[in-house]
């Protein structure tokens, strides 16, 4: 009977280890694997991260259409959109374009733009050397900004692909970025001090993003 108990304990320990391993797999392994997989397969239109430019010659024999689409996620109050909705680029040619963002609220707000691209097989050939989506963007009340996007379409892009859509969805992440809000407020206070006297601030600065909630 004692031998029995030992065997049962061993089996149970193995099974318990498997349980722990699977939990770790779900929480700590699957999300990164998924990201890697997305990178490889262009799953969900996730575009590649920052790309280091290499010398390339433009393939002037063909053109690829790139269309920019901007969406505001729920509750995002900025005005946000591309300067040019549609551009045509030669593969291999670096291209710069801008998005405009304007914060019409009375609060400092922080935004994160999330890029997504179709068709999926284009993501492997679309490289951003500079993008406002790499960082969170902060804008003071009534402030606007020109956000730069620099990209190059690889010459290797399949002949079948001649129209790419790059979408940016703008999310309000003010609540999770109190550090950035604080910094911005200090910056603004500093500027106000510099403009002494004449322009007394009527701006009311609040650290909470939304003074009006439900």
Residues near another protein, by CB under 8 A: 4, 7-8, 11-12, 15-16, 18-23, 25-27, 30-31, 34, 38, 41-46, 67, 69, 71-77, 85-86, 104-105, 112, 114, 116-121, 142, 160-163, 165, 167, 169, 171-176, 209-214
- State the number of CA atoms in the 13 A half-sphere of 191 facing the CB: 9
Task: Tell me if 210 sits within 8 A of 107, measured CB to CB.
Answer: yes
Judged by CB, which is closer to another protein: 71, or 93? 71
Judged by CB, which is closer to another protein: 97, or 174? 174
Quote the least distance from Cβ 42 to another protein, whole Å. 6
Quote the least distance from Cβ 18 to another protein, whole Å. 5
Judged by CB, which is closer to another protein: 11, or 207? 11
Residues 6+ apart with CB under 8 A from 106: 141, 203, 204, 206, 211
- Cα dihedral sign for 81, 132, 134, 90? positive
- Cα dihedral sign for 33, 119, 152, 97? negative
């Amino acid at each position: 009977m004692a031998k029995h108990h030992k065997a049962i304990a061993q089996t149970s320990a193995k099974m318990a280890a498997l349980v722990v391993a699977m939990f770790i797999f779900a929480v700590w392994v699957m999300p990164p694997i998924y990201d890697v997989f997305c990178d490889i397969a262009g799953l969900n239109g996730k575009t590649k991260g920052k790309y280091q430019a290499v010398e390339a010659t433009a393939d002037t024999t063909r053109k690829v259409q790139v269309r920019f689409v901007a969406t505001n996620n729920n509750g995002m109050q900025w005005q946000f959109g591309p300067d040019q909705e549609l551009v045509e680029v030669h593969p291999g040619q670096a291209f710069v374009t801008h998005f405009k963002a304007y914060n019409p609220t009375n609060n400092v707000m922080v935004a994160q733009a999330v890029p997504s691209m179709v068709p999926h097989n284009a993501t492997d050939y679309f490289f951003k050397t500079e993008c406002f989506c790499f960082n969170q963007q902060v804008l003071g009340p009534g402030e606007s900004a020109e956000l730069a996007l620099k990209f190059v379409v690889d010459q290797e892009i399949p002949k079948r692909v001649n129209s790419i859509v790059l979408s940016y969805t703008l999310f309000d992440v003010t609540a999770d970025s109190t550090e950035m809000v604080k910094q911005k407020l200090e910056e603004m206070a500093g500027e106000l001090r510099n403009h002494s006297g004449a322009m007394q601030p009527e701006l009311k600065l609040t650290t909470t993003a939304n003074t009006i909630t439900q």
